[in-house]
Structure 1
Amino acid sequence: MTFLRVFRGRQGGYYCFLIFLFALALLPLGVDRLYSSFYLRFGTEMLIWGLFALSVDLIMGYTGLVSLGPAAFFGLGAYAGAITLLRLADSIWLALLISLVLCGIVAWVIGYFSIRVKGIYFAMLTLAFAQIFYEIAFRWRSLTGGSDGLIGVPDPTIGIPPYTLSLGDPYVFFYFTLAVVILVYFLSVRLVNSPFGRVLQAIQDNEERVEFLGYPVRVFKRRAFVASGMIGGLAGMLFALLSFVDPSVLYWFTSVDVLVMALLGGLGTLYGPIIGAAAFLFSRDLLSSYTEYWRLILGLIFVWFVIFSPQGLVGLYRVTKRRLLALWASSSMPILINKVVDDEDHADR
């Protein structure tokens, strides 16, 4: 398969995303040679927020549920993981297990009540649940540290003694996070392409028709909500290892940021929100170094995308690709392209 065929194919954006991941995997190689270790931390943060944005895409891009409370699961996963490491055991696997199970249970409960309503009522109900958890984290000082948060979370290790690696090493943690993101991404791809995922997309297109066909729509929505909540909790757990945990991880601003990331990248793609998270964080760091009104500028950029490129960066890529191919089609370039392709096909035979 030539690069030209990849570019022209329908999966061009997917292959570009794989190239993006490959380039990201090479990021640590340039630390202290081409750039400072700040970019290694930035890359790790980008992966964590990208994983969080992917969880939003599962319910918004494939199910059509607009939730304003994804911060509830992000913060819950962060607190659950941090408290486990601080007070129970210095085990990354136990912390991950507790975070996933707890977020799954809470997502089921929230989904049980929220999915009974639709539209703006569903969005506001999920926001209300997130704010409840924010208040609990802010006021339950003995467990959560209150406004001071949880500081001094120990760095767990991975591996089998004596061959262990500390996640306190930024290189180890970067590749661990990258492996988690890649694993969750491909599992999510399998999920949305399964019969279950196709029912979710059918619900998004025409919920009444799916219900008429006999599918338990609420059950499917609740399962998608649980899957999204568990992935969001996993992202929160990783964030607890990268930074300290305080009630801000549960605040509604966190939900707004991740929604912007998902929409900026492009919903219904799974890889688009990860790219959107990278673009959002890069723009944030760049703009905040020049002005304190960086959110205003990012808001204007977001409005531009909503109006002129509602499918986000992925949609912008697809439009640009079509225009370039149309430009090539109107020139003598297709003659050369067809000749190269024909020669390759002849060589393959």
Structure 2
Amino acid sequence: MPLIGGYTTLGSKVLIYAIATMGLNLLLGFTGGLSFGQAAYFGLGAYGAGMTLKYLAPSTPLAILIGTLVGGLAATVLGPLVMRRRGIYFAMITIALGQLFYFVAVRWNQVTGGEDGLAGFSRQNIHFGSTVITLDPTNFYFLVLICFTVAVAIMWAILQSPLGHTWVAIRENRRRMEFLGIRVERYVWASFAIAGFISAFAGTLNALLFNFTSPQDLHWILSGNFVIMIVLGGMRSFFGPLLGAVIFVVAQDYLSSLTGNWMTFIGMIFVFIVLVFPTGVLGFFRRRLEVA
């Protein structure tokens, strides 16, 4: 990051958002379900981690575990409400569910801090026997990098399994899968739940990165940003969301330091990439290599 004018925290943010977008891409790019409510589980993970540190125990691993479970279980429980819907109806229900958690976070002032967000907690050093790992920005970056590697390995293994191949088949021809006797709704539910767990996992790391979380981490605008990152990189590519996260987060950081209207330029970049690279940046170059 210093070579391109960045900094360590920015590198951690890129990896965290990459985890969230690659998790969402299991649902969007490989199963064919457009969710505009994924930030709900990202935010639940963040609040779960923050509340664990603030109210329960000063333990970073415990905060990550509880936050991941909170967001992932919420997605699992709510999955049956969306698994039978398709297209715009699927997207609208996910937005509604996401905004439900957003307004709970805004109104529950005594616990969540309301619109001011949840503060008063900080990531704690990790103890391995007599060894203490201090989570300064550099060491925390390496912790995020390890978490990113583990998450990528799990997602890759899932996509190479029969479950992953079934998701792709559902995306390509859902009706044919139904005719074959496949319980499509259950597989969509599984995709929705797993994506929720991964997003919540990313949310816990985001809360630990900034030692703060707010209702904006639950808002549908963040869900839209996740979708933009996936489209930028290429939703049919496994590592496309990673490239999209790099482009979006680095451009956001740089442009926001220059102008308050940085979203205008992000929108222009998005429109340009969609017009020039309709399959995403990584998808475009992969297709060129296949042709060559």
When normalised by structure 1's length, the TM-score is 0.80
- Aligned partner of 2:54: which letter? L
Residue 307 (structure 1) shift: 2.5
User: Equivalent of 2:163, from 196, 217, 224?
Assistant: 196
Q: 1:246 corresponds to which residue?
A: 214
Which has the larger displacement, 226-235 or 245-254? 245-254
Matching of residues 121-200 of structure 1 within 5 Å? 121-167=89-135, 169-200=136-167
The Cα offsets for residues 260-294 of structure 1, whole Å up to 9 and x where unpaired, read as 11111111322110111011111112222333222
- Structure with bigger RCO (C-alpha 8 Å, 6+ apart): 2
User: Equivalent of 2:202, from 228, 235, 240?
Assistant: 235
The Cα offsets for residues 144-165 of structure 1, whole Å up to 9 and x where unpaired, read as 0111111131222224132021
Q: Is the 8 A contact 1:69 1:129 kept in 2?
A: yes
Quote the Cα distance in structure 2 between the aligned partners of 1:41 and 1:320: 34
Quote the Cα distance in structure 1 between the aligned partners of 2:120 and 2:4: 28
Q: Is the 8 A contact 2:52 2:63 kept in 1?
A: yes
- Aligned partner of 1:266: which letter? G
Matching of residues 230-309 of structure 1 within 5 Å? 230-243=197-210, 244-309=212-277
User: Equivalent of 1:211, from 173, 178, 193?
Assistant: 178
Q: Is the 8 A contact 2:47 2:213 kept in 1?
A: yes
Quote the Cα distance in structure 2 between the aligned partners of 1:285 and 1:99: 26
- Segments of structure 2 that go 5 or more residues without pairing to the other structure are none
Q: 1:89 corresponds to which residue?
A: 57
Corresponding residue pairs, total? 291
- Aligned partner of 2:107: which letter? R
Please give the secondary structure, in 2, of the residue aligned with 1:68: coil
The Cα offsets for residues 91-120 of structure 1, whole Å up to 9 and x where unpaired, read as 222222212222222112221101122111
Q: CA RMSD in A?
A: 1.7
Q: 2:283 corresponds to which residue?
A: 315
Give aligned-pair identity as a percent. 38
Which has the larger displacement, 274-283 or 97-106? 97-106
- Computing the radius of gyration over CA atoms, which structure comes out larger, 1 or 2? 1
Q: Is the 8 A contact 1:283 1:298 kept in 2?
A: yes
- Aligned partner of 1:165: which letter? I
Q: 1:102 corresponds to which residue?
A: 70
Q: Is the 8 A contact 1:110 1:126 kept in 2?
A: no
Please give the secondary structure, in 2, of the residue aligned with 1:164: strand
Q: Is the 8 A contact 1:264 1:312 kept in 2?
A: yes
Q: Is the 8 A contact 1:155 1:166 kept in 2?
A: no
Q: 1:15 corresponds to which residue?
A: none
When normalised by structure 2's length, the TM-score is 0.95
Please give the secondary structure, in 1, of the residue aligned with 2:266: helix
- Aligned partner of 1:201: which letter? V
The Cα offsets for residues 38-67 of structure 1, whole Å up to 9 and x where unpaired, read as 611110111111111111111001000000
Q: Is the 8 A contact 1:77 1:103 kept in 2?
A: yes
Quote the Cα distance in structure 1 between the aligned partners of 2:4 and 2:177: 53
Please give the secondary structure, in 2, of the residue aligned with 1:268: coil
User: Equivalent of 2:27, from 50, 59, 62?
Assistant: 59
Q: 2:16 corresponds to which residue?
A: 48
Residue 319 (structure 1) shift: 4.6
Q: Return closer, same or farther for 1:319/1:287 CA change in 2, 3 Å cut-off.
A: farther
Q: 1:344 corresponds to which residue?
A: none
The structure 1 segments of at least 4 consecutive aligned residues displaced by more than 3 Å after TM superposition are 319-323
- Aligned partner of 1:250: which letter? L
